[in-house]
Structure 1
Amino acid sequence: MSSINVRPATRADMPLILSLVAELAEYEKLSDQITSDPEEFAEHLFGPRPYAEVLIGELDGKACGFALFFHNFSTFLGKPGIYLEDLYVRADTRGSGLGKALLGTMAKLAVARGCGRLEWSVLDWNEPAIGFYKQLGAYSLDDWTQFRLTGDALQNLAKNTEEPALA
């Protein structure tokens, strides 16, 4: 039987995190969308104002997965929540219980931090992940459509807004 461990990432884990993110992007067929600067990425995770947190999942002492998440807030619940940006377990260790351990650790963090929910998005073609999440009791929000502003559209909206920007 394999030994599973989940631990918070440290700055020393940045090469591992970048490697796992690249593997995730390849799996999701989105490698062309990685544009992050490794030093800026590390600063956002481990600098004076961290914007996200990372858990490292280990199987028999070897890092085989990660979860990157951050807090959001529900005005309807009046409570913080946790948004799971990325969950990834290496293909050769899927089915080992590592993904469940990562999500379980996140659920414990959410409860300990007084959060009202833990949520994430999944690509609609990723049937193995969807099935896994449903087995854990998660459900899809089919009545919501996710929107995103990036690149020029984000810059244009910021530039063309007359109100002073908040930092």
Structure 2
Amino acid sequence: MIRTARATDIPALHAMIRDLAAYEKALDEVRVTEEQLHTALFGPRPAAFAHLAEDDTTGEPVGFALWFLNFSTWRGVHGIYLEDLYVRPEARGGGHGKALLRELARTCVERGYQRLEWSVLDWNEPSIRFYESLGARPQDEWTVYRLTDGALAELGAR
């Protein structure tokens, strides 16, 4: 079952974010707190959204999709940028990841959004194969750039 996240899901969501970071060998980079997640998802001006996959038997959260809106200047409409998709290892293969992506695709179609985009680490072959099996195609002509920490502060201070 896929459903929109609720405020009571914050602890489980936070734990799965940490699990995802550990899988991606970047746990030391996780700084988000439960309070920050609550504000981002449920504050006065939510900037992000989340869906949870629940175990069919126990109802426990086994995966999540956290996303936000982007905008295509070429198409003139919003799209969804999927920041993170994660399914706990013991629940993989049960269709939860596909169901989460299906829900986001459905949201795009219903709202007239024309893109559903995300990034995947180049070494994550199981995820790449999964995404391509759904019809997703890599955007190889683009290179992602990022400013963080000191470089961001330095540029912002100029």
Q: Work out whether 1:14 is the aligned partner of 2:4.
A: no
Q: Work out whether 1:35 is the aligned partner of 2:23.
A: no
Secondary structure, counterpart of 2:139 in structure 1? coil
Post-superposition, which runs of at least 4 consecutive aligned residues in structure 1 deviate over 4 A?
none
Equivalent residues of 2:7, 2:42 under 8 A apart: yes
- Please name the residue that 1:105 is paired with: 103
Instruction: Give the root-mean-square deviation of aligned CA atoms.
Output: 0.8
- Quote the offset at 1:159 in angstroms: 1.2
- Quote the offset at 1:38 in angstroms: 2.3
- Quote the offset at 1:62 in angstroms: 2.1
- Please name the residue that 1:144 is paired with: 142
| Cα distance in 2 between the residues matched to 1:11 and 1:111 | 26
- Pick one of 42, 46, 49 that aligns with 2:42: 46
Kindly name which structure, 1 or 2, has the bigger radius of gyration based on alpha carbons. Answer: 1
Report which stretch shifted further, 32-41 or 76-85: 32-41
Question: What is the identity percentage for the equivalent residue pairs of Structure 1 and Structure 2?
Answer: 51
| Cα distance in 2 between the residues matched to 1:106 and 1:149 | 28
Secondary structure, counterpart of 2:2 in structure 1? strand
- Pick one of 22, 26, 35 that aligns with 1:26: 22
Letter in 2 for 1:38: E
Secondary structure, counterpart of 2:152 in structure 1? helix
Task: Extract unaligned runs of 5+ from structure 2.
Answer: none
